[in-house]
């Protein structure tokens, strides 16, 4: 009978500690996921923005425009050649998107 009584005394504490532990675990897990570069393509560009979008009017393009697709350019969204060092370091094979007018 004493055992049943003591379980009743500790049960709210055990439940509370378990709930707080799960909440802390989930918070840290989510934070770790956000701070980690693992699985992300974009590591530096506008990280406080929920989505990075650039829009250009075709009429404003010069004869040729070179856009980054590796997300390593310091001049993003334009290519600055950083894809070369990225490819060497990782074995990747990414390169820019080049848009040019006919005749170039």
Burial class (CB within 10 angstroms; exposed 0-12, middle 13-18, buried 19+) of 72: buried
Total number of residues that touch ligand FES (CB under 6 A) = 13
The least CB distance from residue 14 to ligand FES, in Å, is 54
Among 42, 45, 80, 99, binds ligand FES (CB under 6 A): 80
Of 56, 59, 83, nearest in space to 71 by CA: 83
Q: Does 69 bind ligand FES (CB under 6 A)?
A: yes
Catalytic choice (5, 29, 47, 51): 51
Burial call 34-57: b when 16+ CB within 10 Å, e when fewer: eeeeeeeeeeebeeeeeeeeeeee
Strand partners, 64: 100
The least CB distance from residue 19 to ligand FES, in Å, is 46
Q: Does 82 bind ligand FES (CB under 6 A)?
A: yes
Q: Does 45 bind ligand FES (CB under 6 A)?
A: no
The whole-angstrom separation of Cα 73 and Cα 45 is 9
Q: Does 99 bind ligand FES (CB under 6 A)?
A: no
Is 74 among the catalytic positions?
Answer: no
Q: Report, as residue numbers or ranges, the catalytic residues.
A: 51
């Amino acid at each position: 009978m004493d055992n049943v009584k003591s379980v009743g005394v500790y049960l709210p504490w055990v439940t509370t500690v378990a709930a707080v532990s799960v909440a802390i675990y989930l918070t840290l897990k989510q934070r770790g996921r956000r701070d980690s570069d693992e699985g992300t393509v974009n590591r530096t560009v506008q990280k406080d923005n929920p989505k990075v979008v650039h829009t250009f009017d075709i009429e404003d393009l010069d004869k040729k425009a070179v856009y980054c697709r590796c997300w390593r350019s310091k001049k993003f969204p334009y290519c600055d050649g950083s894809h070369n060092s990225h490819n060497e370091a990782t074995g990747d094979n990414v390169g820019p998107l080049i848009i040019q007018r006919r005749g170039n």
